[in-house]
Each structure stands twice: as structure tokens, then as C-alpha cells.
Structure 1
Amino acid sequence: MTYEQTLAYLYAKLPMYQRIGASAFKKDLTNIVKLCDALGNPQDNFKSIHVAGTNGKGSTSHILSAIYQAQGYEVGLYTSPHLLDFRERIKLNGELCPKEFVISFTKSIEDLIEEIQPSFFEITVAMAFSYFAEKQVDIAIIETGLGGRLDSTNIINPLACIITSISFDHKDMLGDSLELIAAEKAGIIKTGIPVVTGNITETSLNVIHTIANSKSAPHYTYKDKSFDTDLIGQHQQWNIGCALSCIDLLQTLLPTDEATVRRALTQVSKISNFEGRWQILNEIPLVICDVAHNEQGISLISEELQKLNMNLHLTLGFVKDKDLSTIIPLLPVSQQVNIVKPSVVRGMEAEDAVEEFSKAGITSFAFNSLQEALNDSYESIIRMNQENNTVLFIGGSNFVIADLLHLKAEGNLPWIS
């Protein structure tokens, strides 16, 4: 099979949460245990750090990767979902894993796929573990997909665990209270293994602390300081604080020096090949995108948009299971709101989202495509001579950002530099 044929096979054969939602989520670890047993348990052949959290786990994972890369370590990084390229999920020193590895790995387990019927996520986790073991990484940063306790990544025995934040998301699978969600995230805590927590409310923190104590796992909190970094927003300061607390804990095993750490923090996006978080795509007019998609994430991004003190155009898209009644009140006042359907089966119809905005007393406009929506905003900004004092923000889901980056890569938005 070619690389394209291999991806087509994986997408068609395996249930994928990003496409079909909760029905793809396997609520136990049976499949991943069988897969990794058949592969010789590659997850036991490298050191790792396990990162969970409602928001911030992807950023924290990339921060850790950037710092350890800058220090000269061989660093594996597993995150999800991907935006432009499937191989974004599996990186070595910031570089995407080779297409040849994706092909050969998939071909080697075709019979196993038929036998076990795993999910897409389970296969990507096993693929990452195999790649990191083969490359003999010094450290692998492993981000959970959803939750923690029953997440397929939760068969590693890490050097440390991090729980970045606790807020509402995926309530149908993780629970409808912060305490229940905290307990699911804290499911990654292992006996005697230190855990670092981020900026988390006292109620949720108590749940995590209780579980840590029950497993004799030392509990540490993030460094609450300000750091020079290329990552924008107070929430990224919290994420850096989590990463640095973890790095301090592991100094004996993975030494770092302060100068290298400081340098890495100013180049996280470049070093770790990180996209989709307050990513500036154009300067005039200012165009920014971010994958924030739940209450806490949208609230944090809204704060950053308000700090700009500029006119605001929003282009947004959501998934069907998103309760917009809790999201819309968090959005900043905008001159124009354009709505699209993300190009996935789970995407919410633009007209349905427009109806929800109307219920909140906000006028918005439905478009058939993201390209049309963005061109409409751009033309409006230019027509009103507001290109120097307007920001066009794109967000609402990972899938809208994926659609956006594809459009940009294909040259379909020539006004974005």
C-alpha cells in the first residue's frame, strides 16, 4: 500500500472519535493491552511523561518536548488530534514520523486489526509506542486523548504525570461534575509516581490529591510565575509552570540547564512544530486561529481577544454535541459572526448554530464553506477600511482549524500571507 492508501484503510476500517464521536470511544484498556502484547509491549522500552487535562495538555506536552529537544535529548511526542497531517500525532524531535513507518507498521498488524477490531485512536497509540521504542528515545511525552483512567495511553509506567486543568468537556463520557471529571483525569496517577497539577480549582484539586495519596504518589503544583515565551496568554504561563515543575522533579534522570530552558521557552512553536494555539496567520488584517472549543478554553481565548482592544470578526464552527448555550455567552462582542460547518460527520450544521446565536440575541450568518465565510469577513474589513484595527478570529473546534490550515496550505486564501 502507498501512504495515501494506508491512511484511507485506517480511516475506513477503524472507528474514529473525531469523526463519529462517543461510539468510537472504547471504555476499557483491553484492546490496547492486546495490541501492545502482540507488539512486545514497546511502551516498556522507553521513559515517558504522561500528560492529561481538559485544556493545556497539548501545549504542556509541546513545551516539555521543546525543552528536552533544546537540551539535546532524543524526544518522542504523541499528541492528538492532528490538524494537517496524520503524522503530527507522532513526532521525534519535532519531526513527523516517516510515511514509510506508518505504512510498514499498518501492514504488519493487518491481521491483528481484523482480529481485535480496535479503534483508530488505539492503533495510533500502539504505532507511537512502537516508533518511540524503535528509535530508542531518551524521553517520550505522551498526551492522553480523552479523560485518563480509560484512555489508551494509560498503560505506560511514566516517570511523572501532569494534570494541567479540570473543566467541563465530554460530559457524556467523563461525568457531569468537575469532581467526576477530575477523578477520570486522575486515573493516570500511578503508585509512587509523582504528579504535577496546574491551575485547578480547590474542589477538583482535592479529588486529585485524595487519589494521589491513596497511591502514595507525591503531589506537586505548577510554578506560578511569569516566563518569557512565544506562547500567548495567561493559560500558557500555567502550562509552562506545569512543565517546569515536572522538569525540576526529573533533574536527576534528565538534567537540564536554566539557560537552555529559557531559550527553549521563547521558541516552543518552532522547536516542537506546534500549530493551532493562538496562531497568527496574518498581520494586516490581523488573523488569529485557536483550537479552543470548551467553556474554559473559549473563556481564556475571549480574554486574550479583548486585550487586543480591536474590532472583532469571528468565524466559528462547532461539533454537534457542543452545548452552545454555555459557549455563546463567553464570546466577546463582535462586529460580525460567520458560522460554518466543520468538514467532519460530527460537524454542527451552520444553520443550527446560527439559530443558537439568535436565541442569545446575536446576529450571525451561515456559510456553505469556510473559504466563503473568511472571504466575506475579509472583504467586509477592507470595505470599511478597518484592516489596521480589526482582528479576524477563527475557532470553535479543532476541525475548523484543520480546514483553515488546509485552505492556507493549498493557497486558497491568497490574502493570508
Structure 2
Amino acid sequence: MTYKEVLDYLFSQLPMYQRDGAAAYKADLKSTWDLMEVLGNPQKSLNCIHIAGTNGKGSTAHYLSSILQEQGYKTGLYTSPHFVDFRERVRINGVMISEADVICFVTQNLQKVAEIRPSFFEWTVGLAFKYFQREQIDIAVIETGMGGRLDSTNVVDPMVSVITSIGMDHMRFLGNNLLSIAGEKAGIIKKERPVVVGTMKKEVKKVFLQKALEEESPIFFVDDKYAKEDYHNRNRALTVKTCEVLNSFGLMIDQTSIDFGFQKVVENTGWRGRWERLNSNPRVVADMAHNEDGLKEVNRKLSKEDYFQLHIVFGSVYDKDVDNIIEILPNNATYHLCAADIPRSMPVAELRDKFDSKDLVSTPYDSVGDAVKRAMQIADNKDFILITGSTFVVAEAMLLF
């Protein structure tokens, strides 16, 4: 198989939550455990940090990976989804897995796992764990895909679990209130393994305290003084707390590595998609915020920008609470509505109806590319263009720059 044929197989023939939604969701981890067994249980050989949360888990994963690299540890990083290149999901010291290694893994295991019928996400988890094992990394930073308890990454026995934040997202699968969602995220807490929890409401903290008590797990909370900080500072505080916990359990992470890890996170890890500047004249920024809490943070960022006219390229998917998200969006913007090229995307006609009901100025477009190009055509150098609402809209937009 060629690399293209391997990707076509993974993307086209396998259930994929990001594309297909509920059709790809599995209600237990049996097939993941079966897959690990066939692969020789590579997860058992990994020293890892396991990260879950509604928002901030990607940021925290990249921060920790960068810091560990600065300290000299050979660091594996598994994140999802990817933006432009599938291989973004699996990195060692910031370097993406090679196309040859992706081909080799899939072709070697295609027949072995045929009866298991792994999902797209299970394949990528298996790929990452096996690759990290083969390359004998020192530590892996593993980001969950969705939830925690039933996420395919939740077959690891981590050095420490990290829970970044709890908000309303993926309610169809995780529950329609914060306590239910917290219960799903708490599923990554393992027996006698420490857990670090970000700033959150008192009633939500109780969910994690109870789970930690049941598992006899030491639990550490980030100081509440960071609760009113922006998400970068909250995630940094969580990262520092995690480093402190890792030090207390035998790792060596010094302040210099923490400082340089924060400074060089993009260089070290290839981090993308969070308030990323794609163009200067006019200014174009992309942010993958796709739920209420994420969009609130984007608004904070916008409030610090100086511009004449605001243009927002916006798209979403069916399982997001778009009605509540629209309530958060700025009233003074011109909206360019679009749908990413995946089945889960909310059609632009439906989006337009929702925006019209809120008296927001919007125009629908046939594609992300058309929306971005039109926004750039009518914006002048004093204007600001924001691309947001969906990871997949941002990913397609990135290809244009």
C-alpha cells in the first residue's frame, strides 16, 4: 500500500467520530483492549501523562511536551484531531511520525486486527503506542479524544492523570450537565495514581474528589486564584502544578526547562490552531474554539485587538449547542458562514436561519475556501478576520495560507 492508500483506508473505510459522529461511537473499550492485545500491549511499556478536559487539554499537552523536551526527556506526544497532516497526531520531540512508519504499521497489522474492526481513532491510538514503544521514548503525553472513561486512550496506566476543565460539550455522549460530564472525565483517574485538576466550580471538584477517594489516588488542585485568568494562564498554571507533582514522584523538571518550554512550545511541538495568525494584511487569526467556554475565551482575545471592521468566518457541527454559542458571538461582526467538508457539518442554510433569528449580519458560502476568500476580498488592512467555530473549518482554512 502507498501512503495515500493507507490514509484512504483509515479515513474512508473506518468509522471516525470527527467525521461521522454517533455512528463511530463505541460504548465500551473492548475493541481497544483487543487491539492492544494483538499489538503486544505496547501501552504497558509507556511512562505517560494522560490528559482529559473539555477545553485546554491540547494546550496543556503541548506545554508539557515542550517542557519535558527542554529537560532532555525523549518525549512522545499524541493529540487529536490533526489540522493539515495526519502525522501531526503522533510526534516524538516535535517530529512527526514518518509516512513510512504509518504505512508499515497499517500494512503489518491489517489482517491481524480484521476481526476486531478497530475504529479510525483506535487505529491511531495503536499506531502511537506501538511507535512510542519501538522508539523507546522516556515519557509520553497522551491527550484523550472525547470524554475519558470510554476514550480509546484510557487503556494506559499513567504516571499522572490531568483534567483541565469541565464545560458543556459532546452532551449527547457525556451527559447534559456538568456533573455528568465531570464523571466521564474522572474515568481517567487510576488506582493509586496522582491526578491534577484545573480550576473549576466547587460542585464539580467534588466529583473528582470522590473518584480519587475511591481509587486511593492523591489529588491536587490548581489554586483558585487562577480561575479568572485567561485560558493560557490557567493552562500554564495547571502545567506547572503537574510538573510539581511529577517532581514529587521522581521526575526531574527544573524551572529553566519550564520557562523555556513555555517560550518554545510552538517550535518544540508544532502546536497550531489556538489564536494562530495566518496573515498580516489583513490580519487573519484562526482559533479552533468550538464550544461556549472556548468562544468566551476567544471573545477575551478579541477585546484586546484594535480593528475597524470585524469579519468572522464561522462553521459548526451538528452535536454542538450552536444556539447558545451564537449568544456568545460578537454582535458587531460580519459573519461568513460555511461548512467543513465532513458529514457532521451543520449546513450553511441551517446556520443562516439561526444567525438571522439573532439579527446577526451573515452571508452563506458553498465552502470554507469561498468564505475565507470573500472575507479577505472585502476586508482592508485595518480590519480583522477571525476563523473559528470548528476544528475542521480551521483545518480547511489553514490550507489556503
Determine the structure 1 residue equivalent to 2:333.
Answer: 335
2:396 — aligned with what?
403
Q: Is the 8 A contact 1:224 1:238 kept in 2?
A: no
Partner of residue 296, structure 2: 299
Deviation at residue 133 of structure 1 after TM alignment: 0.5
Distance (Å, rounded) in 2 between the aligned partners of 1:200 and 1:242? 12
| CA contact 2:172–2:319 (8 Å) conserved in 1 | no
- SS of match in other structure, 2:361: coil
**Residue number in structure 1 paired with 2:367:** 369
Between the aligned partners of 2:89 and 2:125, the Cα distance in structure 1 is: 9
Question: Secondary structure of 1:407's match?
Answer: coil
Partner of residue 285 from structure 1, selected from 282, 285, 308: 282
AA partner of residue 252 (structure 2): P
1:72 aligns to what? 72
Whichever residue aligns with residue 106 of structure 1, its letter is V
The whole-number CA distance in structure 2 between the counterparts of 1:254 and 1:115 is 40
CA distance in structure 1 between the aligned counterparts of 2:57 and 2:197, rounded to whole angstroms: 11
Q: Distance in 2 between matches of 1:77 and 1:223?
A: 27
- What are the ranges of 5 or more consecutive residues in structure 1 without an aligned counterpart? 227-232, 409-417
Shift of 1:223: 5.4
Q: Supply the RMSD in Å over aligned alpha carbons.
A: 1.4
Partner SS state of residue 308, structure 1? coil
Deviation at 1:253, TM superposition (A): 2.7
The residue that corresponds to 1:244 in the other structure is 240
211, 230, 235: which one aligns with 1:234: 230
Deviation string 1:53-88 (CA, Å, 9 cap, x unpaired) is 000001100000000011111000011111101111
Find the counterpart in structure 2 of residue 14 from structure 1: 14
State how 1:133-282 maps to structure 2 within 5 Å: 133-222=133-222, 234-251=230-247, 252-282=249-279
Q: Which moved more, 1:59-68 or 1:315-324?
A: 315-324
| TM-score between the two structures when normalised by the length of structure 1 | 0.93
Taking the aligned partners of 1:137 and 1:222, their CA distance within structure 2 comes to 28
Distance 2:201 2:89 in 1: 30
Superposition deviation, residue 375 in structure 1: 2.2
Q: Distance in 1 between matches of 2:235 and 2:224?
A: 10
The alignment status of 1:116 with 2:116, answered yes or no, reads yes
Q: How many aligned residue pairs are there? A: 397
Aligned twin of 1:49: 49
Q: Is the 8 A contact 2:314 2:337 kept in 1?
A: yes
Residue 280 of structure 1: how far off its partner (Å): 0.9
Amino acid in the other structure paired with 2:379: I
Question: Is the Cα–Cα contact under 8 Å of residues 64 and 243 in structure 1 kept in the other structure?
Answer: yes
Q: Deviations along 1:325-377, whole A, 9 cap, x unmatched?
A: 11001012333111011111111111110110011121210011222222222
Q: Which moved more, 1:23-32 or 1:330-339?
A: 330-339
Tell me if structure 2 keeps the 8 A contact 1:312–1:391. Answer: yes
Which stretch shifts more, 313-322 or 135-144? 313-322
Pairwise CA distance, 1:407: 2.1
Cα displacement (A) at 1:171: 0.5
Higher mean C-alpha deviation, range 45-54 or range 357-366: 357-366
- Whether contact under 8 Å (2:76, 2:92) holds in the other structure is yes
2:278/2:398 contact within 8 Å kept: no
Q: CA deviation at 1:380?
A: 1.7
The answer to whether the Cα contact below 8 Å between 1:212 and 1:218 also exists between their aligned partners in 2 is yes
Amino acid at match of 2:63: I
Alpha-carbon distance in 2 for matches of 1:88, 1:254: 27
The answer for the alignment partner of 1:414 in structure 2 is none
**Any idea what SS the aligned residue of 1:157 has?**
coil
Structure 2 Cα separation of the partners of residues 201 and 393 of structure 1: 30
Identity fraction in percent: 41
Distance in 1 between residues matched to 2:214 and 2:26, nearest whole Å: 26
CA distance in 1, matches of 2:194, 2:262: 23
Tell which deviates more after alignment, 326-335 or 150-159: 326-335
Secondary structure at 1:250 match in 2: helix
Q: Which residue is equivalent to 1:350?
A: 348
Shift of 1:36: 0.7
**Which amino acid in the other structure matches residue 119 of structure 2?**
S
Structure 2 counterparts to residues 79-94 of structure 1, below 5 A: 79-94=79-94
Displacement of 1:198 after TM fit? 0.8
Q: Counterpart of 2:76 in structure 1: which amino acid?
A: G
Cα distance, 1:396 vs. partner? 0.6
